[in-house]
Chain A
Amino acid sequence: MPDTAFVRSEMLPQQAPPITERGAVKWLRENLFSSPFNTVLTLIGLAVVFFLAQAALPWLMNSVWNATSLKECREIVWASAGPEATGACWALIRERWHQFLFGFYPADLYWRPVLALGLLLISLAPVLYYGLRKASVTLVGTVAALTLIALAMLDHDPTHLVIFALGLGGLTATAWVAPKRLLVLTVIYPLLGFWLLWGGSVWAPVGVAIGFALLVAVYLATKSYLGVVVATGAGFVVAAIWWLAVQTSVTTGLEAAMPLGMQAITSDQFGGFLLAFVIGVTAIGASLPIGILLALGRQSDMLLIKTLCVGFIEFVRGVPLITVLFTATLLLGYFLPPQTNFDVVLRVIILVTFFSAAYLAEVIRGGLAALPKGQYEAADALGLDYWQAQRLIVMPQALKVSIPGIVSTFIGLFKDTTLVAFVGLMDPLKGVTTIVRADTAWKGIYWEPYIFVGAIFFAVCFGMSRYSMYLEQKLKTDHR
């Protein structure tokens, strides 16, 4: 046997890695100082952060929360931090927060928008977290608790609070016991929410609901011998006849026989984030189905439908939103007969919806294009009809691919709601802030209201963005 033969009799134990391969040192080396260039970038970055903090921190540290005017704010800052010192004057927000949130909505009715927002989130829970009971219950429970706290701060009548608590508790329990039942709320929420916000006779939303019920009834009754498309059309015709010709007289009669309702609020009292949310949420909710139909229409073999869809999409994308908003509010006002009462907020909602629907249609068309032809062929070969194939095979995949684009469009839409300032509505950014800054007590204030409004917009948009990332992760089944 040669001397060099070697047999290991015992195994070496693991040793700790050297200091450069673990913990903070490794992280720093890899991420901040991996090369001379990276080191320079890190140092420049640190310097930028330092100068920004040096400029902004004293201003933030000297924040004043209690004052009645900008002058008083400055005096407090100078008294505490010496003359010429600067400080943020959040006292403005403390004094005017309700205008930023609700515009000129009557103060004793703030519970209505608060409840509407709470119910909105609760009704969204079964959609956002479909099939995930725990996440859904967590969302519903948290929102219910927060809504109740907010309501308690607005309304001190114990009987009201007990009613609210029972209702919200009931919804949370529903989310736990029978999550799918919560979808009933989701279905009726659009009408319930509008009624809560605008008030008026309860028979108006009921009348609209009857129209939808007629639509569904006609569709179901005629589907088997008219076919899906014609039956849908027939349903729309019947519903339109009801809404345009019959509904008003019926609801007026019902109102006379049994007056039920709440104090009506007019659209010019809406403002601030209430307005932004009403327009944004409604347009987001309505534009997705319209966008899907437009995208499908654009791919249709039927020339008329295709031409209409292409024409609509290209027209809407080619014209600035503000132009259309002006047209809708000013020109329609001149041309329509004077007694026509077509609510300005409703007009804006319809236009913003069409706008984002056109953009969505193109985003979804991209998703459709990403789908291999084989998927359509497999669906056809299995005998699925057009709508089944779209709903079960094509849309789930096309929409999944389009999620980032769809959410971008939604975020853009939500921020574009501030453009309604140009037609005299009180959006939070320009409308309310201008009003607040016009007050002599706060004349000259600049950063604080914009930072406040910007922070809320950021929180909402960031939330949407994070949710879309979560959704992409959840729907990821291709395992590439």
Chain B
Amino acid sequence: MAEATKQMQVSDEVAIQITGMNKWYGQFHVLRDINMTVNRGERIVICGPSGSGKSTLIRCINRLEEHQSGHIVVDGTELTNDLKNIDKVRSEVGMVFQHFNLFPHLTILENCTLAPIWVRKTPKREAEEIAMHFLHKVKIPEQAHKYPGQLSGGQQQRVAIARSLCMKPRIMLFDEPTSALDPEMIKEVLDTMIALAEEGMTMLCVTHEMGFAQAVANRVVFMDQGQIVEQNAPKEFFSNPQSDRTKLFLSQILGH
């Protein structure tokens, strides 16, 4: 899989620009002076101990969480209180959640066609074709007419990925996509994500899967206490961590 990394091109074009961003939950300062630039085609893995603000960071990128100061510019659109900008960013940025968050009252196919039909105003037939295309891609077209409750966790997560892809997003955010899965199912989801990375999708992924980070990421970001502590290419990050906090984290996560 390491071979694949080299083929993936990163362009100079900026996809996400975060400058001096801060966020508080009440009195608690969760994100502190975040500065980060993501180029188009980059695959970034964000890791860190729980409570370090990594999920909050990527949730700020599509405004599921509001930041209080600093700037976030996604695809040339700055996230402010302007609902139009928020909707624009959200329709360009796909998101995959830890708990899948499929819509249980809709079939797999309806889950995938809902947003294209209502947000993109795609005709139903066309939306269904697109949905089937991506369901093929995540290798579960035969489940299209079942309900989410009838699928295994791994299958549900792959549907969630397909659902996001149906909006043809330019950036994909993954919020611990494998944390709620049985060990056997983690692989099928990671394979799907690797396939996506190989196609040049810009990806930000919060995960504890260090194997995935080594295989596809071209940058690993380590966060602690709401700050970016260290970021580096995966090879250097794992073989030669700079800060003590990173070393401690890596020794705990890779130690066993």
Contacts and interface: CB of A to CB of B under 8 A. Distances in A.
A57 B114 CA distance: 60
A393 B97 contact: no
Interface stretch (A148-156, A238-246, A383-391): A383-391
Interface of A: 372, 374-375, 377-378, 380-385, 388, 392-393, 396-397, 400, 475, 477-480
Contacts of B99: 372, 374
B179 to A, nearest CB: 14
A480 B149 contact: yes
B11 interface: no
A392 B118 CA distance: 10
A377 B147 CA distance: 20
Contact of A382 (B100, B104, B119): B119
B246 to A, nearest CB: 30
Contacts of A400: 105
Given A383-B115, A384-B118, A477 B97 contact: no
Contact of B105 (A374, A381, A475): A475
Nearest to A382: B115
B90 A381 contact: yes
B62 interface: yes
Contacts of A375: 101, 103
A385 B105 CA distance: 19
Interface in B169-193: none
Contacts of B102: 378
A471 to B, nearest CB: 13
Given A374-B97, A382-B163, A477-B105, A388 B149 contact: no
Contacts of A396: 105
A397 B97 CA distance: 20
28 contacts: A372-B99, A374-B97, A374-B99, A374-B100, A374-B101, A375-B101, A378-B97, A378-B103, A380-B64, A381-B64, A381-B95, A381-B97, A382-B91, A382-B115, A382-B163, A382-B164, A383-B87, A383-B119, A383-B167, A385-B83, A392-B118, A393-B103, A400-B105, A477-B104, A477-B105, A478-B149, A479-B147, A480-B149
A374 B98 CA distance: 10
Contacts of B164: 381-382
A228 to B, nearest CB: 11
B150 interface: yes
Contacts of B104: 397, 477-478
B81 to A, nearest CB: 12
A382 B90 contact: yes
Give the top 6 A-B pairs by smallest Cβ distance, nearest first. Answer: A479-B149, A383-B91, A378-B101, A374-B101, A382-B115, A381-B95
B97 to A, nearest CB: 6
Interface string B53-69: 00000000011100000
A478 B102 CA distance: 11
B167 A478 contact: no
Contact of B97 (A377, A384, A478, A480): A377
A380 B115 CA distance: 10
Nearest to B163: A382
Given A381-B93, A475-B105, A477-B104, 10 more contacts: A375-B101, A378-B103, A381-B64, A381-B90, A382-B91, A382-B115, A383-B90, A396-B105, A397-B103, A477-B105
Most buried by B among A375, A382, A385, A397: A382
Most buried by A among B83, B104, B167: B104
**Majority SS of interface residues in chain A?**
helix
A480 B104 CA distance: 11
Contacts of B103: 375, 378, 393, 397
Contacts of A475: 105
A392 B110 CA distance: 11
A374 B147 CA distance: 17
Contacts of A393: 103
A479 B118 CA distance: 27
Contacts of B64: 377, 380-381
A384 B63 CA distance: 13
Given A382-B90, A385-B87, A477 B149 contact: yes
Contacts of B149: 477-480
Nearest to A381: B95
A49 B101 CA distance: 53
A377 B102 CA distance: 11
Contact of B167 (A382, A385, A397, A479): A382
Contacts of A388: 118-119
Nearest to A393: B103
A384 B83 CA distance: 11
A473 to B, nearest CB: 14
A397 B62 CA distance: 25
Contacts of B115: 382-384
A396 B63 CA distance: 25
Most buried by A among B97, B103, B150, B167: B103
Contacts of B163: 382
B90 A392 contact: no
A380 B61 CA distance: 13
Contacts of A478: 104-105, 147, 149
A462 to B, nearest CB: 28
B221 to A, nearest CB: 21
Contacts of A392: 114, 118
Interface in B21-40: none
A384 B119 contact: yes
B224 to A, nearest CB: 25
Interface string B147-161: 101100000000000
A381 B62 contact: yes
Nearest to A379: B103
A374 B100 CA distance: 8
A102 to B, nearest CB: 42
A384 B94 CA distance: 12
Interface string B190-233: 00000000000000000000000000000000000000000000
Most buried by B among A381, A397, A479: A381
Given A381-B90, A478-B147, A397 B119 contact: no
